[in-house]
């Protein structure tokens, strides 16, 4: 019997890409979004950036990406609709953000 493949993926809309300046105090980089289906964060600074999901970010705790290209791809195990907060090891640390919605 031939196998049948069912596609469960859907085409997502890429929202406007952002560059967010992350400071040495926790701040929101993405607000709660009920339409979110994924996100990618790329640290384009030389500093470390840590994230807090629906809570204040604490440096070097939770999800932390290192500088010069460190990346967090929100996947099925880290997916959330909640607000994403971030803190950096240096002031004005650039974080590239791409959010996807249905």
**What pLDDT shows up at residue 100?**
94
The reported pTM is: 0.88
Give domain limits for the chain. Answer: 13-101
**What pLDDT shows up at residue 10?**
74
Q: Which CATH number fits domain 13-101: 3.40.50.300, 3.90.400.10, 2.60.120.770, 2.102.10.10?
A: 2.60.120.770
**What pLDDT shows up at residue 12?**
85
Element holding 23 (H helix, E strand): none
| Per-block mean pLDDT, blocks of 10 residues, the chain (102 long) | 65 91 98 96 98 98 97 93 98 97 86
**What pLDDT shows up at residue 76?**
87
Compute the half-sphere exposure of residue 102: CA atoms within 13 Å on the CB side of its CA: 8
Q: What whole-number distance in Å separates Cα of residue 69 and Cα of residue 93?
A: 12
- φ, ψ for residue 30 (rounded to 5)? -140, 125
């Amino acid at each position: 019997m031939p196998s049948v493949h069912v596609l469960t993926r859907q085409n997502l809309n890429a929202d406007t890409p952002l560059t967010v300046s992350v400071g040495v105090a926790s701040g929101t980089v993405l607000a709660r979004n009920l339409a979110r289906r994924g996100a990618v964060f790329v640290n384009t600074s030389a500093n470390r950036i840590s994230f807090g999901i629906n809570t204040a970010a604490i440096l070097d705790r939770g999800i932390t990406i290192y500088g010069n290209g460190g990346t967090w791809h929100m996947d099925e195990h880290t997916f959330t609709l909640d607000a994403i907060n971030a803190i950096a090891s240096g002031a004005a640390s650039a974080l590239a953000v791409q959010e996807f919605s249905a």
